[in-house]
Amino acid sequence: MSDLLLTHGYFMFEDAKEMHILKPYAPLGILYICSHLRSKGFNVDVFDTTFSSFEALQKHLQTERPSVLGVYANLMTRKKVVEILEFARATGWKTVVGGPEPGAYAREYLDAGAHVVVFGEGESTLEELLPALKANSQNALQKVAGIAFLDEGGHMYQTGPRAQITNLDALPWPARDAIDVPRYVETWRKAHGTGSLSFITARGCPYHCRWCSHQVFGKTHRRRKPAAVVDEVEWLLATYSPDMVWIADDVFTIHHGWLRAYAAEMRRRGLRVPFECITRADRLDNGSTELLAELGCFRVWIGSESGSQRILDAMERGVTVGQVQAAVNLCKSHGIQTGMFLMWGYEGEELEDIEATIEHVKRSDPDIFFTTVAYPIKGTPYYEKRATSLVQLKPWHQSSDRELVLRGRRSAEFYGFADRLLQTEVQLARLQRAGAGAETELDLRRQVSALRESLHCAPGPG
């Protein structure tokens, strides 16, 4: 019998959208917890749901001797996680839930079947929590920092905050041996021709974009030593032979001195691997972009969000539209592709801000861009400010923060037109640059004016 079974609520085969994307990554959070606890002498298993089914997990929970089940939850997996918690509890397991969402909805997760909710990083908390759960005493639980549970009277008891891990290098690498990592790499390779896997070089982001969740790492930024990261990269390449990697940090390019040291160590060991990462436009300059290219970076993702400076400032993004355009150009000059994330509907956005975003994307001309309609995540300043305008249409356990309706927000149809107008305008701009035939251009111009008219006539804020 294990001391702890870890799992999560992401079932790739049960999600049509994910089956279309087919770019799964291993759940690093629970793998970090697993390796840490194993190094402290605990017996820990992982049931990786990514390539499995809810039925298989149920069967596993029924056949294993119940101990403690730890579940990772984020805003997208809430529904599944609640089902897992309910089932596990009914079959005799003690249930613990952690990850980026539960800390913001502690009471809801406790009511939904979790015995304990863990806030923030899970490694040290679980190390103390497992013996406390074994002791089966509320007294013992009260001494564990960074948790919440229901006391005998059904009231939520929240202990004091847990200090963050100061030395990330003291942590063992994620327990990738606990899951089928080759299957992740193969799934990528079969679908895209390149097998990929991920690792992190740091925890936390010190910036304060108002809609971004800082639930787990706060506003800290803690980095691993460059040589320690290169050790992991070297081992990953030798063990799993991926064709590329994803550096899953919030902002990989945050610290240029670190980046130089990392590049020097990779160079010294003769290592180079194609990779993609996320950056902020203001954290790219000529030197850092050159290093990215040298290291094998083929694509950077930039949270561009809006082409309107007014909206960027309202988001407290700390970046200018001009910086984003310069960063895209810089990447182009170093042969690195750019992917852009854009957000519609942030508070205060008007038609002219949408037009500014369209102009911005035309001018920057990134290789790829994705749009989302802004949604407030609980625990963020954006959510707190809009809390009184939020309407939850379905019960909490069947819903997610993405499905919250914001009063005063324009219709889905409106943002659909904004999306199509953006796509068509960018297509037109590209054709014009390439000197396309007059007929195609005329056709696109007609589409653009029809879409602009629909956008302007679409229902206003409701």
Q: In the complex with ligand SF4, which residue's Cβ is closer, 305 or 353?
A: 305
* Residue 361 identity (one-letter amino acid): V
Q: In the complex with ligand B12, which residue's Cβ is closer, 73 or 263?
A: 73
Which range in 9-17, 134-142, 205-213, 419-427 contacts ligand SF4 by CB under 6 A?
A: 205-213
Residue that is written with structure tokens 């089966």 in the block: 136
CB of 346 to ligand B12, least distance (A): 14
Among residues 141, 212, 245, 328, the one that binds ligand SF4 under rule CB under 6 A: 212
CB of 264 to ligand B12, least distance (A): 25
Q: In the complex with ligand B12, which residue's Cβ is closer, 114 or 455?
A: 114
Q: From the list ligand SF4, ligand B12, none, which binds 99 (C-beta under 5 to 8 Å, kind-based)?
A: ligand B12
Among residues 5, 37, 141, 209, the one that binds ligand SF4 under rule CB under 6 A: 209
Under the binding rule (CB under 6 A), the answer on residue 171 touching ligand SF4 is no
CB of 266 to ligand B12, least distance (A): 21
Q: In the complex with ligand B12, which residue's Cβ is closer, 71 or 297?
A: 71
Site for ligand B12, rule CB under 6 A: 10, 25, 27-30, 32-33, 70-72, 74-77, 96-101, 118, 121-123, 126, 200, 212-213, 215-216, 248, 250, 372, 377
CB of 300 to ligand SF4, least distance (A): 13
Q: In the complex with ligand B12, which residue's Cβ is closer, 106 or 200?
A: 200
Under the binding rule (CB under 6 A), the answer on residue 205 touching ligand SF4 is yes
CB of 47 to ligand B12, least distance (A): 12
Q: In the complex with ligand SF4, which residue's Cβ is closer, 245 or 343?
A: 343
Among residues 42, 87, 188, 207, the one that binds ligand SF4 under rule CB under 6 A: 207
Q: Hey, what are 192's tokens? A: 């895209």
CB of 426 to ligand SF4, least distance (A): 23
Using only C-alpha atoms, what is the Rg of the chain?
24
CB of 419 to ligand B12, least distance (A): 15
Among residues 70, 303, 307, 345, the one that binds ligand SF4 under rule CB under 6 A: 303
Nearest alpha-carbon partner for 388 in 405, 374, 403: 405
CB of 131 to ligand B12, least distance (A): 15
Task: Name residues contacting ligand SF4, limited to 230-289 (CB under 6 A).
Answer: 250-251, 280
Q: In the complex with ligand B12, which residue's Cβ is closer, 250 or 349?
A: 250
Under the binding rule (CB under 6 A), the answer on residue 94 touching ligand SF4 is no
By the criterion CB under 6 A, which residues form the site for ligand SF4? 205, 207-209, 212, 250-251, 280, 303
